C-alpha cells in the first residue's frame, strides 16, 4: 500500500502563551489535495512550517511519505514549498530558478535542467525558460514557483496562500488551472488558505482550523453542505437569521433553503420572528440574503423554500414576490 504523502500525529506548537497549533492530526493521501482552511491567525502557517521543518513542534510527529521527519532539517524532508510571495531569485532565469531545487538536492546540472524543463512543461511555461522573474506576469510567476516545487520530485507539496498576491480575475482562472495541475503532478498537496472558494475549488478534502485546533475535516462538498458547528457555518459564509420582534418561525440546523435546482443549503442559526426573517445562505456565487415574510419564514420551519436564483440574485419567491 502507498504511504500517505503526509501524516500529522497530535502536533502541538506554542509561542509563549499562544497555542498556535493544538493536537493537530491530519493525513494527506498520495496524490490528494487537502486544504487547511481558517481565518487569519488560527495557526495554519504554523502547521505548514512544522511540516516543512522551518519550525519545531513542541509535541507530535510529522511523517512524509511514511518516513518520520520530525527531527530532520528542512532540506532532508523532501517536501516542495510554494510561498505566498513565490520567493523567486531575481538574478536567475526561470529555468535556473526551477533547476535550483534539484541542484540543492544533489542533482547534476544536466539532470537538474532536464527536471526543470519537465516541470515547466507541466505548468505550461516551457517557452519562458530563458526569462527573468521581472519579465513575468503574476500568474506566470506563480506557476514558476509551483514548477520549482514540482521539480524537486517531492511526494508532498506545501502551498501557503498560493493565489493571495493575484488579482481577483486571475485568481479565478488559476483556481481551475491549479486543480488540473495538481492532478497531473500526482503529489500530495497541503494547501493553506483563508479563502473558502479556493478551498472548495482546489481541494478534495478540507480541514477547518480555529484557534489552533482542527474543528472539522471532511470531503469539501460535505463540509460546505453540513458545517459541524455554528462557527464553521458562519466562517463558510453560511446562514444567519436576523430576528424580527416576537416569534413563530423556527429555523433549525436541519432546515434547508433550496436555491433553484441546486442542492439544499443548510440554515444553521435559528431565531424566532413573527414579522419576517432575513436569511443568509451559502451559494457558490457568494452569500445571498433573503428577506422572508412571516408566512415564508414559518414555511422554512418544517420544510423547504424553493427559490429561483440567477447569478446570485433571487428572481422568484414561491408566490412570485420580489424579495425585500
Ligand atoms: P495563520 O497562518 O492561520 O494566519 P499563524 O500560524 O501564522 O496563523 O499564527 C498562529 C498564532 O501564532 C497567531 O496568534 C500568531 O500571532 C502566533 N505566532 C505565529 N508565529 C509566531 C512567532 N514566531 N512568535 C510568536 N507568535 C507567533
DSSP 8-state symbol, 313? E
Say how many domains are in the chain. Answer: 2
> Same structural domain for residues 216 and 243?
no
User: 18 CB contacts (<8 Å, ≥6 apart)?
Assistant: none
**Which pLDDT tens digit goes with each residue over 152-204?**
888 999 999 888 777 777 777 777 778 888 888 889 999 999 988 889 888 99
> Same structural domain for residues 138 and 22?
yes
Q: Is the pLDDT of residue 45 over 70?
A: yes
d(C-alpha 181, C-alpha 174), whole Å: 10
Q: Is residue 161 part of a domain?
A: yes
- Contact present, 147 and 179 (Cβ < 8 Å): no
- Domain enclosing residue 75, as ranges: 6-225
Q: Is residue 253 part of a domain?
A: yes
> Same structural domain for residues 135 and 279?
no
> Same structural domain for residues 200 and 238?
no
- Is the CB of 38 inside a 6 Å radius of any atom of ligand 1? yes
d(C-alpha 139, C-alpha 100), whole Å: 20
Q: Is residue 249 part of a domain?
A: yes
> Same structural domain for residues 268 and 209?
no
Q: Is residue 30 part of a domain?
A: yes
The chain-wide mean pLDDT, for the chain, equals: 77
- Is the CB of 43 inside a 6 Å radius of any atom of ligand 1? yes
In angstroms, what CA-CA distances link 187 with 147, 246, 322? 12, 55, 49
Q: Is the pLDDT of residue 222 over 60?
A: yes
CA of 143 to the centre of ligand 1 (A): 27
d(C-alpha 30, C-alpha 5), whole Å: 5
**Which pLDDT tens digit goes with each residue over 300-316?**
444 344 443 333 334 33
The pTM for the full model equals: 0.75
Report percent pLDDT > 90 for the chain. 43
CATH no. for residue 158?
3.40.50.300
- Is the CB of 193 inside a 6 Å radius of any atom of ligand 1? no
- Contact present, 282 and 236 (Cβ < 8 Å): yes
> Same structural domain for residues 51 and 151?
yes
Of the ranges 5-19, 70-84, 219-233, the best mean pLDDT one: 5-19
Amino acid at each position: 500500500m502507498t504511504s500517505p504523502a503526509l501524516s500529522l500525529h497530535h502536533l502541538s506548537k506554542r509561542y509563549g502563551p499562544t497555542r498556535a497549533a493544538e493536537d493537530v492530526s491530519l493525513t494527506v493521501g498520495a496524490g490528494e489535495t487537502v486544504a487547511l482552511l481558517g481565518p487569519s491567525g488560527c495557526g495554519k502557517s504554523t502547521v505548514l512550517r512544522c511540516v516543512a521543518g522551518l519550525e519545531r513542534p513542541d509535541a507530535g510527529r510529522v511523517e512524509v511519505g511514511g518516513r518520520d521527519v520530525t527531527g530532520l532539517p528542512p532540506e532532508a524532508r523532501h517536501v516542495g514549498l510554494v510561498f505566498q510571495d513565490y520567493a523567486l531569485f531575481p538574478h536567475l532565469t526561470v529555468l535556473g530558478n526551477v533547476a535550483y531545487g534539484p541542484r540543492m538536492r544533489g542533482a547534476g546540472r544536466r539532470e537538474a535542467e532536464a527536471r526543470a524543463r519537465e516541470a515547466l512543461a507541466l505548468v505550461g511555461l516551457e517557452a519562458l525558460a530563458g526569462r527573468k522573474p521581472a519579465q513575468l506576469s503574476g500568474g506566470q510567476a506563480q506557476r514558476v514557483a509551483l514548477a520549482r516545487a514540482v521539480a524537486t520530485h517531492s511526494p508532498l507539496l506545501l502551498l501557503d496562500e498560493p493565489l493571495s498576491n493575484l488579482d481577483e480575475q486571475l485568481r479565478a482562472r488559476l483556481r481551475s488551472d491549479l486543480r488540473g495541475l495538481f492532478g497531473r503532478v500526482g503529489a500530495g498537496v497541503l494547501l493553506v488558505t483563508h479563502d473558502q472558494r479556493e478551498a472548495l475549488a482546489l481541494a478534495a478534502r478540507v480541514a477547518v482550523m480555529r484557534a489552533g485546533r482542527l474543528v472539522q475535516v471532511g470531503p469539501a462538498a460535505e463540509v460546505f453542505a453540513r458545517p459541524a458547528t455554528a462557527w464553521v457555518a458562519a466562517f463558510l459564509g453560511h446562514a444567519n437569521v436576523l430576528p424580527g420582534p416576537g416569534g413563530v418561525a423556527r429555523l433549525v440546523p436541519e432546515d434547508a433553503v433550496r436555491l433553484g435546482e441546486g442542492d439544499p443549503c443548510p440554515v444553521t442559526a435559528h431565531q424566532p420572528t413573527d414579522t419576517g426573517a432575513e436569511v443568509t445562505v451559502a451559494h457558490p456565487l457568494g452569500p445571498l440574503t433573503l428577506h422572508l415574510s412571516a408566512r415564508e419564514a414559518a414555511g422554512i420551519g418544517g420544510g423547504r423554500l424553493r427559490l429561483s436564483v440567477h447569478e446570485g440574485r433571487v428572481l422568484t419567491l414561491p408566490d412570485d414576490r420580489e424579495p425585500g
